[in-house]
Structure 1
C-alpha cells in the first residue's frame, strides 16, 4: 500500500498546489483557465500525436479495448441514470447528467498522469482511445439527449449533428486523427518538429494536475448530499466495476490495456462537468459532485490501483 501511496500522493499534492496557488492569490482563476487551454490545445494534443505516430497502426487501433470501455461506460451511465430517474425521482434531464457524471472520466487531467505512473508510456495510447470513446460516442449521445430534453422542439438527430460539428474542431480529436494517419502511412516526423512536440508533450501531466486544483477553488459546494453521494459512488465505484465486467465480456484485451481501462475509469468525472450542467440550471449539483468525487478519489483511486495489482495486471504492464 505504501508503494500505491507513492504513486497517488504526488498527484494529489500537485492538485493541492494548484488549489493553494489560486486560493492565496498567486494565480487567478483566469490564469488557471489559460493554463487549461494550453494543456487542451497544445500540450496534450502534442503528447497524443507523438504517442500515436510512433506506434504501428495495428498496435493502437485496439477495437476490443474500444468496445469494452464503451460497453462499461454505457452500463454505468444507464444504471446511474435509471436509478436517478425511477428511484430518486429525478427529472429526465437531471437523470441524464447523473449518468454523465457517473460514466465520463477526467481522462486527460487525472487519468493520464495516474496511468503514466502506473503502467508507463502505453498509457498515452490508452488515453487516446478513451478520448475517442468519450468525445466521439459518449459525449455526443449524452449532450444530444440533454439538448433535446432541455430545449423543447429540438430533435435528437439535429442536436447530434450540431454537437459533432463542434467536436470535429476539437484539438484533441484533430491530434488523434493526425496521429492515426501518421501511423497508418508510416510517416517519419522531421527531427526538429519531433523535438518541439517532445518539449510540448512533457508539460502536459504536471500542468494538468495544477489546473485541476486551481479549478476547484471557484466551484461552490452546497447541499444535495444524497444526489452528490449517488454520483460520487457511481463514478468512483460503479464505473470502474462496470469496465471490469465489460473486459470480462470482451475477452482478449491486453493486460496493460485492461489495467489502463480500470485506472482511467476510476478517476473523477470530466472537469467541464459543472460547465455543461450550468447550461441547464444544474451547476450546483454538478459542481458539488465534482468536488466531493475529487476529494474521495484520494482513497478510492489507491484502492483500485491495489485491486488492479492483485489481479496481476500490473506485473504484465509495469513501465519498462
Structure 2
C-alpha cells in the first residue's frame, strides 16, 4: 500500500508546489490564470487531439468500458442531487450544482497523470476513450437538468441549443472532435505539424498540475462540512466502487480497461464543477471547497483503489 502511495504522490506534489508558491507569494494569481488558460485552451486540447487521432478506436472505444464508468457517474449525480435536496434541504438549483460536482471527476488533470504514473504511458488508451466523451456527457446531463429545474427554458429545443453552445465553446471538446476527424478519415498530418503539436502536448500535464495547485489556493474551505463530506464519499468511493463492480462482474471488461475506468472514477471533482456552479451562480462555495478537499483526499483514496486493481 505504501508503494502505491509513492506512485500517486509525485502527481500531488506538483499540485502542492503550485499551491505553496501562490500561497507564499512566489507566483501570482495572474500567472496562475495564464497557466490555466494555456493548458486548458492550447496544451491539453493538443494532447487530446494527438491521443484521439492516433487511438485504436476498435480496441479502446468499447461500450462496456464507457458503461462501467458512466453508470457510476450518473448514479453519483442522481444521489448527489437528491441528497442535497432532501437530506440537506438545499434549493433545487443548488442541489443540481452539487450533483454536478459529484458527476464531474477530474479525468484529465489528475486521472491521466495518475494512470501514467501507476501503469505507464501505454495504459492511457481506455482513459482517453473515457475522456473523449466526458465533458460532453457531463455538461449535457448538468445543463439539461439545471435548465429543467430552474424553469429557465421549457422548450427542449432551447435546452439543446444551450448544451450545444457549451460544447462548441469548450476547447477540450474541440481538440477531441478534431482528433476524431483525423482518426476516422485517415487524414495525413505533416510531420512538422505533429512534432509541433507533440511539443505542446508534452507540456500539458505538468504545467496543468502546477496551475491547478495555484487555482486551489483560492478555494479555501468555508462551512458546509457535511455537504462536502457527502460529495467526497460519492466522488471518491461510490463512483469508483460502481465502476469496479460494473467492469469486473457485470461487463467483464479487460484488466487494462478496468484500471482506466476505476482510476478515472476515483479522481476528485474537477475545476469544471466550480465553473458550472459559477455559470448559474449557485452553490459556488460548496463546489470550490469540494474541489480542494477532494483533491487532497485523492492522495489516499486513489492509493486504495490502485491496491484493489489487478
The TM-score normalised by the length of structure 2 is 0.91
Q: How does 1:133-152 map to 2 (within 5 A)?
A: 133-150=133-150, 152=152
1:285-300 pair list within 5 angstroms: 285-300=286-301
- Structure 2 unaligned blocks of 5 or more: none
Equivalence for 1:5? 5
256-265 vs 158-167, which deviates more? 158-167
Q: Distance in 2 between matches of 1:22 and 1:45?
A: 25
Contact kept, 8 Å, 1:66 with 1:133, in 2: the verdict is no
User: Per the alignment, in what secondary structure is the counterpart of residue 133 of structure 1?
Assistant: helix
Q: Which position in structure 1 is the counterpart of 2:285? A: 284
**What does residue 25 of structure 2 align with?**
25
Does the CA-based 8 Å contact 1:57-1:184 persist in structure 2? no
Q: Contact conserved, 1:119 with 1:260, CA < 8 A, in 2? A: no
* Number of corresponding residues: 309
Work out whether residues 267 and 297 of structure 1, in 8 Å CA contact, stay in contact via their aligned partners in 2. yes
Aligned pair in 2 of structure 1 residues 269, 135: CA closer, same or farther (>3 Å)? same
Q: What's 1:158 paired with?
A: 158
Q: How does 1:80-95 map to 2 (within 5 A)?
A: 80-95=80-95
CA 1:156–1:219 in structure 2 vs 1: closer, same or farther (change >3 Å)?
A: farther
1:223 counterpart SS class = coil
CA apart distance, 1:151: 5.4
- Cα 1:89–1:166 shift into 2, 3 Å: closer
Query: Are the counterparts in 1 of residues 49 and 175 from structure 2 also a CA contact under 8 Å?
Result: yes
Q: How does 1:137-286 map to 2 (within 5 A)?
A: 137-150=137-150, 152-153=152-153, 155=155, 157-248=157-248, 250-278=250-278, 279-286=280-287
Structure 1: segments with no counterpart, 5+ residues: 313-320
Do the aligned partners of 2:43 and 2:200 also contact (CA within 8 Å) in 1? yes
TM-score using structure 1 length: 0.89
Which has the higher mean CA deviation after the structures are superposed, 163-172 or 27-36? Answer: 163-172
Distance change (3 Å), C-alpha of 1:148 and 1:55: closer
